[in-house]
Structure 1
């Protein structure tokens, strides 16, 4: 295990809901995602961490999610993106084939942030190591609701997330009482229909 993944595990702890990654999936993303990420898949599988606050996922399962969010936006012209990870509340971490760790979507608010990675071209393996080492538990939480949600609703399975019902974009308060366990892919596609995806600006903070 390399140092970056060790740092990640120190922050998040052991995996849950681990799934073995088939060789066919590793071959599918060869040349599209960093070799180092594919090595992580082979060794650690796809799994949840931090008791389910963060998930390493199968990008193929999220292809429709990417299409739902990016079609018709300027982002779809920039790169071919793949979801490599997500949070318990539906934050999506997207990897660009040319731009690396360059896009994150906060789906419950229909907002995105872009990042110009220095790790492109032949530096992609360094980029995925930097990405893993930089992840933090608190930035994958939403309003410190993860622990209360897990206590009230139970732990997540690999295909589930905590979603607000009705959605925040439909006017629901962001309170524990409006959280439910929902199927992740279906809910993320639903959220993409509610409001145009727009960039964060300083007035949001």
Structure 2
């Protein structure tokens, strides 16, 4: 399958965890033509769930779409497809006929383009030295030891939230429902802003 061989470096670096499951044919058919072929190939060959010892998850876009709508409004055109263990959301769209993959960092209210090709996203960005996965490698290990493995759609986070002055400290570390927490970060920030 050419789509999978194109992202083999990702699989070598972040092999699928035990709970990864291939979605049904209707799910894959729905994603074809709307998401990068590299992602569809991963869905077919391995599936949704955590990869690399719980460092990054391929997620059901329907579960995470409300989060993007909370952050960017109901007219958002990108589709969430992957999430780090700390809730950074990777989302995809096409602009001017070109692929665009962005990363929402909810902790520091930052959204940036990280790749313009699906295969490059998996083999260049995620496996590279400047990705959140690289930056958070040691913190992820410590979080996993302190809080245990993440379940489906769970993330690690800090309370109080980093965006409102919380500190990256294992004493402040928690884990819980990712879509709820990332949406709550936006709501807490918005509540503190002058109207």
Instruction: Give 5+ residue unaligned stretches, structure 2.
Output: 191-195
Where does 1:56-71 land on structure 2 (aligned, <5 Å)?
Answer: 56-71=58-73
For 1:154, the equivalent position in structure 2 comes to 148
Q: Contact 1:5 / 1:132 at 8 angstroms: preserved in 2?
A: yes
Q: Hey, which bits of structure 1, 4+ residues long, moved more than 6 A? A: none
Rounded Cα–Cα distance in structure 2 between residues aligned with 1:137 and 1:144:
15
Rounded Cα–Cα distance in structure 2 between residues aligned with 1:145 and 1:25:
33
For 2:102, the equivalent position in structure 1 comes to 103
Instruction: Give 5+ residue unaligned stretches, structure 1.
Output: 118-126, 197-205
Rounded Cα–Cα distance in structure 2 between residues aligned with 1:12 and 1:136:
8
- 3-state DSSP class of the match of 1:21? coil
- 3-state DSSP class of the match of 2:180? helix
- Give CA deviations for 1:19-42 in whole Å, capped at 9, x if unaligned: 221222222223211334223212
| Total equivalences in the alignment | 182
**In the TM superposition, what is the alpha-carbon distance from 1:137 to its structure 2 partner?**
7.6
Name which of structure 1's ranges 20-29 and 172-181 shifts more when overlaid on structure 2.
20-29
- TM normalised by structure 2 equals 0.83
Q: Which has the higher contact order (CA 8 A, sep 6+)?
A: 1
Where does 1:45-60 land on structure 2 (aligned, <5 Å)?
Answer: 45-60=47-62
**Structure 1 position 136 matched with structure 2 position 127:** yes
- 3-state DSSP class of the match of 2:145? helix
- TM normalised by structure 1 equals 0.79
